[in-house]
Structure formats: structure tokens, C-alpha cells
Amino acid sequence: MTGRRLLTLNAGSSSLKFAIYEVEANTPLRLSGQVSGLGGTPHLKVNAGPARLAAETWTDTRGLEAVLARTFGWLDGAGWGEGVVAVGHRIVHGGLHFHEPTVLTETVLQGLEALAPLAPLHQGFNLRGVDMAAAHFPDALQVGVFDTAFHAGQPEVARLYALPRDLIAEGLLAYGFHGLSYEYIASALRAQEGPAAGGRTIVCHLGSGVSLCALSDGQSVATTMGFSALEGPPMSTRSGSLDPGIVLHLMQAKGMSVEAVTDLLYNRSGLLGLSGLSGDMVTLLASPLPDARQALEVYVYRIARQIGSLAAALGGLDTLVFTAGVGENAAEIRARIIAQCGWLGVRLDDTANAAGARRISLPESAVTALVIPTDEQVIIARGVAGLLEPSGAFDEAPSA
């Protein structure tokens, strides 16, 4: 007989990640999957522990809704859709009010929909995933777990912009994002480095989106993304931080609409804009073109500058962590960032870095440098499990 299962969904503009856990057990069922290439030809990959269950290219499927429907169909056909009592969703923006895992009632969903302009690449996709999961699993509890929640306890001085108080009261604050990733890294550090969780730690979440977070004993004290997911270093297609005067210039002197500026800053800037070639790190690292090389120089420079800023917020640095797609896989980028952070006392072990080892700093390094794969899915599962089974825990992550 099938036990009670928990499905997690992380629906985005370019990929869909999912996993299934068993509610009664303290370890997951180890079913995890991803559909990549939502903007082109989707490709499904599903694992159960080390076993590959599926690897399919869906040439006749386009867009998130079609991919979700086909994914649910695959789960049902393989027997994994049985017994799902709850679906946990990554919701990028929780705004002022949503700091804990929350049952997604109609009222809650309306509030989250109003936040969509603050995360245009993510919020709408997240919420469409909720709608489709509710329709497919009508008896399952739908729960939101929020990327902004991990940063809600930051010191007020770290969250305030120098704006009039009435605008601050309306919610014009630095929220921070990638919170599920940072929460996972903090828990991994507690398990591997002890209760101090790496002491004064900076985590570099380097993926298509890029942000850094300063942790003190596992708690967020400062982060580079703020009111929106545009702030911070350059990203794959997002500009990162820039002078607000540029936005005024684009609208006043160039006559660009709000929609055109939004498209420019979210979809046509960052590494793609600087290189004129691609926002993909593998492509840029392989390119001999001068603009591609300079795009990477700007990327590394801006990240190193942010590390210096966050080290100042922490009053020093004990641990530097790289995570997410680029952070976990691009040894050259890690090496270049660490080279610019030598003044902090971090010393790279070139051999360990090239081999993709967990610890990539030399024994004599004053700062421990680590590579830790992130797992947002297990954080979603823990949040949902806390609502279903207060004593439940999910201490181990599946591998996709």
C-alpha cells in the first residue's frame, strides 16, 4: 500500500524541479527530477537514488503549463503520483507578511499575485505551478515556502533604503532572495562544521541568478539582492546593480516604456548583454571573443567587490562557500574570484579546486573555502513537513 507522499515543485521560467518524499519517514524516497529547457525543447531527467528512472526529450511540448501537465502525467504513469497529500511550492517573493511556510488559500494567493511585478521572472511561474498542482491533486494541501523568508530577521539597517518613511512603510525594503538555497547551506554547515555553522560565512550562490549572503552563525545578516532580484553582481541575463539614473535616462532621453526597460534589465543585460554572445557560463569560458572575456572579468570583479562589502558587514571572514550551477561546477570562476580575495587571507588549493573537492582552500588558508551543492527542494519539504508532522524531519537530500 502506498504511504503518504509529499511532492515539491520549483517552477521557473527555464526549468521545473520536483521531488517526492515520504511523510512517515525521516528520509526522502529519493525521487527527484528536473525538466530543463522550458524556453526551447524540454528534457526530463528523473532519479531514484543512484538509479536513473527517465531521460526524455519532449519535442512536442512547449511552455510551463504543458510541461507541468506532462510531468504530472509521468508521475501518475510511473505510480509516483499516488498518495500525494501535500504539494510544497517555492515562491520567490513573500513580501512583508509571509515569513513561514503557509497554506496557499485563495486570499494568500491573491496577496502573492500582487507581488509579481517585484519578481517578474519567477512569481508568475511559481503561482501557475500552484494552480495546476491544485487542479491535478485536488485533495492535497498546497503550501508555499518563500525565498525571502530566510532574510526577514536581518538587522533593520541592512534592509533600509534611504527613502522617505512613507515609502518604506509601503514595503520598499531590501528583501533578499535565494533564501531556500542559503537555508540549506546553513544547515549543511551546521551538520559538517558544528554549531557555529562556519562562523562568519559568505555564501556565493552563482547560477543564472547571482547573489551573495553574509551569515553569522547560520543567520542572514546581509545579502546582495534587495527589493527585487535585479540587485547585486551581473547575472546571466540580468543587469545586477546599476545607477538608478540609468533607468531615468532610458525612460526620459530614450523614451523607453516601463515594459521595455524591464525587458532590457531582466532579459537582455548581464553576461548576455556585455558579451553580445550568451549568458551561459560554459559558452563564455570557451569563447575567445574579447567582449566575452571582458564580460567574465566584470562578473568576477563585481562578485569580489561584494565579498569585500559583506566581509565588512561581518567584521571579518572565516568561511567562503560556492554553490549553485556556476559556483558548483566552474572551477575557473572560483579560482578567479578567490585570487581577487587574497587580501582576506583565503588561499586556493588548485588541485582540489580543479577536482571539484568539497574543501578547496589550502590548510594554511586563514579562510576556509568550500564547494557545497545546494538543495532547495529539501528545504521546501522540511517546511511542508513541519505543517503536516511537527516532529518530522528531512535530513538528507536526493540527487538529480
Catalytic machinery residues:
147
DSSP letters for 258-278:
HHHHHHHHHHS-HHHHHHSS-
Instruction: Mark 203-212 as b/e (b = at least 16 C-beta within 10 Å).
Output: bbbbbbbbbb
CA distance 344 to 306: 13
Q: At 212, phi and psi to the nearest 5?
A: -125, 150
Q: For the residues of 103-145, what is the DSSP string, one character each?
A: E--HHHHHHHHTTGGGSTTTHHHHHHHHHHHHHHSTTSEEEEE
* Of 184, 218, 191, nearest in space to 319 by CA: 218
Helix (H) or strand (E) holding 377: helix 376-388
Q: Give exposure, 171-180, as e/b (b: 16+ Cβ within 10 Å).
A: eebbbbbbbb
395 contacts 27 by C-beta, under 8 angstroms: yes
C-alpha cell at 174: 531590501
| Side-chain-facing half-sphere of 162: CA atoms under 13 Å | 0
The residue behind cell 535530513 is: 395
Name the residue among 176, 183, 95, 109 with its Cα closest to residue 144. 109
What SS3 class is residue 16? strand
Task: Please report, as a single letter, which amino acid is at residue 221.
Answer: V
The C-alpha atoms of residue 84 and residue 381 are separated, in whole angstroms, by 13
